[in-house]
Amino acid sequence: MLLTMLCLTVGVIAADETKAAKPDPAVVKAKIVKLAKDQKTTAKAMHKLRIKLIKTNPELKKLHESIMAMHRELALKMAANKDMRKLIIRFEDNEKEIETLKKSIGQK
């Protein structure tokens, strides 16, 4: 019985919460813009700190160099694949055409 009453109470509380007024969309949008701006600033700070840590910490520097070497090796092996090479060429051709079209309308 106690469990039943507890379940009913939770159901009533949940129902009351759904009846609450919806937030003003303009306020929500402003909050989203503010959070997105802060997120961008935070990401820049994280990137700057990562670079500093890699430069100043020998262990991290060595690990980073190992990862970059493995990344280069992986990229070379992937690019050697015939199907991947076709996709890379297609991507590059599209990129060139986009740049040409942008220049034709004076866009950078």
Structural domain span for residue 45:
30-104
| Residue whose structure tokens are 């820049």 | 44
Is there a domain that residue 79 lies in? yes
In a domain, 19, yes or no: no
Position 63 in a domain: yes
Q: Token digits for 11?
A: 């159901």
Q: What per-residue confidence (pLDDT) applies to 29?
A: 95
In a domain, 24, yes or no: no
Tokens representing 4? 């039943």
Average pLDDT over residues 1-30: 66
Give the per-residue pLDDT at 21: 84
Angle at 72 between CA 67 and CA 78, to 5 degrees: 120
Residue 18 confidence (pLDDT): 58
Residue 106 DSSP one-character state = T
According to the model, what pLDDT value does residue 108 have? 79
| Band of pLDDT at residue 40, cut at 50, 70 and 90 | very high
Q: Tell whether the model's pLDDT for residue 56 goes beyond 80.
A: yes
Q: For residue 73, what pLDDT is reported?
A: 98
Tokens of 59: 């262990």
Instruction: Centre a 10 Å sphere on the Cβ of residue 37 and count the other Cβ atoms it contains.
Output: 10
Q: Whole-angstrom Cα distance, residue 10 to residue 15?
A: 9
Which residue has tokens 């700057």? 48
What's the domain count of the chain? 1
**pLDDT tens, residue by residue, 60-101:** 999 999 999 999 999 999 999 999 999 999 999 999 999 999
Tell me, what's the pLDDT at 44? 98
